[in-house]
Structure 1
Amino acid sequence: MQDAKTTRDWDALGKCLVIGGGGFLGGQIVRQLRAEGVSVRVMGRNHYPDLAPLGVECLLGDVTNPIEVHAACKDMDTVFHTAALNHMWGQRELIYQVNVEGTANVIKACRDTAVARLVYTSSPSVVIGESNIVNGDESLPYPERYNADYPRSKSIAEQLVLKANQGSETANGRGLLSCAIRPHLLWGPGDPHILPRIREAATSGRLRQIGDGRNQITITQVENAAWAHLLAALELAGQGRCAGKAYFVGDEKPIYLWPWLNEVMSIWGLPQIKKHAPWGLTRFIALLSEGLHYFFPRLGEPFMTTFVVDQLVRSHSFSHQAAERDFGYHPIISPQEGLQKLVMAEQNAAHFLSTENTENLAWADAHNPHGRDTDGTRTGHGRDTDS
C-alpha cells in the first residue's frame, strides 16, 4: 500500500531540522525526507552513525539547553520536534524539563532564528481521561486531570505549540506556523518502547489479558506517523489549513488489541496469550504498587501503573478524517504490510544471530582447536561456559 503518485513541492520545506532524529519516529522522518531529496539536519543527545550514509548533518544537543537548540535551529526553514521523555512514573521534574521546558526552548529558538514552520509530535494521551473513546475526533477536550505525568506534560507542551502559531513574529517579521500530530501507539520494526516491553512480559510468563479483550484501539505504524508529519509540514508551507491545530493520525482502521497482540506473538514464535486478569483487581494492584513506590522511590518504577492498565483495557480509537481533509493524510503502510515488516525483521534478526554465532564458533575453533576454555574447562559448541 503506497501513497498515490502525487506531485509535491518538497523544495517548499527548505532546510529541515529533526529534533530527536535518531529516535524511532524521528529516524523515520529523516529517512522519508532524504528519500524526497530534502536537506536534513538532526539534533540529538547521541551520535547516530546509521544516519551518516543518508547525507544528514548531525548535531549533538539537548532540548533542555536553549543555546544548543538555538544553534540547531539556525538557518533552518522547517523544524520537526519529536524528542520527548515518555516515562510513565517518577522523574516528574525531568519529564517536565524535557517535555514542557524543552518544547518552550524549541518554540523560542524557532522564533529567534526565523524558522517558518514547526511540526510537533504530540500524543492522543493528551485527551484520554477515564472513559472509553470510540472514533474520537479533534473536538475532544483536554481532561481536567491525568493519571500520569507524561500525558500531562504532553498536553501542556501541545498547547504551547498551538498557541505559538503566529502568536508573535519571528526574527524576519513573519509569524511562525505550527501544528501538532497525535499518532497513537507507534509500532513497527525497531520499536524501542511498546513491543519490547510486551515481548519481555510474554517471555517471562507475566503477560495476561486484562478485561474481556473487546477494546478497540488505533495503532500507528511508524512509517505512517512519519508520513503524516511530512504532509503537515507541506501544508504549512502551502495553504496552511493545519496551522494552529492538532490532528489524530493512525493506521487504516482500529484493531482489537488482544487478538492483534496474539498475531504479534505468532510472529515472535511465542505462545498465545491465554491467561486472564480481571480489570478491577489489576487496577487495584497497580494503585497499591504506585502508592508503595511513591513513598519508597528508591524501589524504582512500579511493575504496573494505572495509566498502563487503562491503556490495555479501554477502547481508544480515533478518526483521522480531519488529517485527510486538511493535508491529505492516508496511511502508506497497511496493517498487513506492517505485520509483514515485523516478520521480515524477526527473520533478519534470527539470521543475524545465527550468522554471528557461526562466526564466533569458527573464531573459537581457529584459536582454540581443542575446544577448551582458557581455564581448561571443556565447553560444548553453542553453550555458555556456565551451562
Structure 2
Amino acid sequence: MKVFVTGGSGFVGRCMIQMLRDRQEEVIALARSEQAAKQVTQLGAKAVRGDLLDEQAMTLGMQGCDIVFHIAGFLSIWGKYQAFYETNVIGTECTLAAAQAANVSCFVQIGAAASVFDHQSLSEIDESYPLQQPKFSPYIATKSLAEQRVIAANRPGFRTAVVRPSWIWGNGDHVLPQLVTAVKTGQFIWIDQGNYSYMTTHVMNVCYGAILAAERSPGGQAYFLSDGDVVQFRRWITTLLQIAGVKPGSLSIPRWVAWNIAGFMEAIWRITRRTGIPPITRTMVRLIGQELTFTDRKAQEELGYTPIVTRDSGLAELADLYHSH
C-alpha cells in the first residue's frame, strides 16, 4: 500500500512513518524544508517538497496513493487567528482537494480532543458532544473547523475520518522539556492544585488509532483516542517531572484567577504589540487547567481500538531514555 503523510518530520509524523514502514508500507511525506526532507528520508519515506498551501505539489505527490494521513497543523497557545486559520483550515482544505484530485480513496486527519472545548469542564463525554469554536482560542476554533471540513468531505469513493487524541506524549515530545524549564525558572504553577481528572494519548496509540480508522472506519466519523485510563492531572505531571529529575512546587491558584490573569496578559500583549508568547494564555488554561474525561468506546467498537502502549510502559520507556542520556 502507498501512503501520503503531511507533517512527517514532526513528533506524531515521525512515529507514523516508522509505524507504516514497520508494516512494509510505501510512504511519501510532504516536506516544506530541506531539513524536513532529510528527516523523513532518514525514516524511510520519500520526500515531496512543498507545504500545505501547495495543492499542486501535494496532488503530484499523492499520485497512486491509497491513504492520506493529514498530521500537519499549527499548535500554539498564542498567535494571530489568521495564522492558525491558514494552516489548520485552509491547509486542510488544500490537502483534501489534492487527495480528491489524485483519486486517493481514504483521508484520515489527526484532530484533537480540544475541538470540543468551550469554557466548561468535560466529564465522560463522547463524540455526540458538539464541536466548538471559542473566541478565546484560535487553536481550538481552527482545529474544530478543520475537523468539520474533513467530515463534510466524506462521500462514496472518498472515505474520511478524524481521530481525536488528548495530550499526545512519548519519546520525542517537546512538552516535558518545556515543563522542566518552567519548574527550573520558577514559572511553574498549579491550577486548582491539579486535582482534576485528565486523559492522555501516547503517540504510538495515536498512530495506531489513525491506521485503524483508515482500515475500518465507514467514513464521515470522528473518534476519541485515549491511553485507556483516567489520571489525576497533578499525579501525571509530577510523574513526568520525576522522570526528568525535577520536583514541581506546591504553588497553586484557583482556575478563575488563572483565567483572568491570562486574559489580562493577552490584552497587554495585543495593546503593546509584544513579540513572543505571554507567560499564561486562556488557551493554555483551557487545555490543561481543568477536567477532561471522555470515552473511546466508539473507537473500540467500530475500529477494534485498544491502546498498544499502556501508561506504565510508556513512562518506563521515557525513564529509560532520560537515564541513558
Give the TM-score taking structure 2 as reference length: 0.95
Once the two structures are TM-superposed, the CA of residue 272 in structure 1 deviates from its matched residue by 3.5
C-alpha offsets along residues 154-192 of structure 1, whole Å, 9 cap, x if unaligned? 1111101000001xxxxxxx6211000101010111112
Alignment of 1:189-268 (within 5 A): 189-192=171-174, 194-235=175-216, 240-241=217-218, 243-268=219-244
1:298 matched to 2:274? The reply is: yes
2:179 and 2:241 in contact (8 A); partners too? no
> Which letter maps to 1:154?
K
The runs of 4+ residues in structure 1 deviating greater than 6 Å are: none
Q: SS state of the match for residue 9, structure 2? A: coil
Distance in 2 of aligned mates of 1:314 and 1:342: 25
2:111 and 2:164 in contact (8 A); partners too? yes
> Which letter maps to 1:231?
L
**1:362 equivalent in structure 2:** none
> Which letter maps to 2:107?
L
What percentage of residue pairs aligned between the two structures are identical?
28
- Check 1:34–1:290 CA distance in 2 against 1; reply closer, same or farther (3 A cut): same
**1:171 equivalent in structure 2:** none
**1:182 equivalent in structure 2:** 164
Distance in 2 of aligned mates of 1:59 and 1:327: 30
Q: SS state of the match for residue 260, structure 2? A: helix
- Check 1:130–1:230 CA distance in 2 against 1; reply closer, same or farther (3 A cut): same
C-alpha offsets along residues 42-87 of structure 1, whole Å, 9 cap, x if unaligned? 1122334454354321122100122222222222110000000112
Query: Unpaired runs of 5+ in structure 1?
Result: 1-13, 167-173, 351-387
Q: SS state of the match for residue 220, structure 2? A: coil
C-alpha offsets along residues 237-276 of structure 1, whole Å, 9 cap, x if unaligned? xxx43x1011100102111111111111111111243222
- Check 1:106–1:50 CA distance in 2 against 1; reply closer, same or farther (3 A cut): closer
**2:86 equivalent in structure 1:** 97
> Which letter maps to 1:118?
F
Structure ID, larger Rg = 1
Once the two structures are TM-superposed, the CA of residue 212 in structure 1 deviates from its matched residue by 3.3
**2:14 equivalent in structure 1:** 27
Distance in 2 of aligned mates of 1:129 and 1:22: 31
- Check 1:144–1:186 CA distance in 2 against 1; reply closer, same or farther (3 A cut): closer
> Mean alpha-carbon deviation: is it higher for 141-150 or for 222-231?
141-150
2:134 and 2:140 in contact (8 A); partners too? no
Distance in 1 of aligned mates of 2:132 and 2:147: 14
User: Which residue of the other structure, out of 29, 45, 48, is the alignment partner of 2:32?
Assistant: 45
C-alpha offsets along residues 361-384 of structure 1, whole Å, 9 cap, x if unaligned? xxxxxxxxxxxxxxxxxxxxxxxx
Distance in 2 of aligned mates of 1:188 and 1:111: 33
Paired residues in the alignment total 323
- Check 1:299–1:50 CA distance in 2 against 1; reply closer, same or farther (3 A cut): closer
Once the two structures are TM-superposed, the CA of residue 300 in structure 1 deviates from its matched residue by 2.9
- Check 1:254–1:48 CA distance in 2 against 1; reply closer, same or farther (3 A cut): farther
User: Which residue of the other structure, out of 134, 137, 140, is the alignment partner of 2:126?
Assistant: 137
The two structures, once aligned, show a CA RMSD in angstroms of 1.5
**2:57 equivalent in structure 1:** 68
Give the TM-score taking structure 1 as reference length: 0.80
**1:119 equivalent in structure 2:** 108
Query: Unpaired runs of 5+ in structure 2?
Result: none
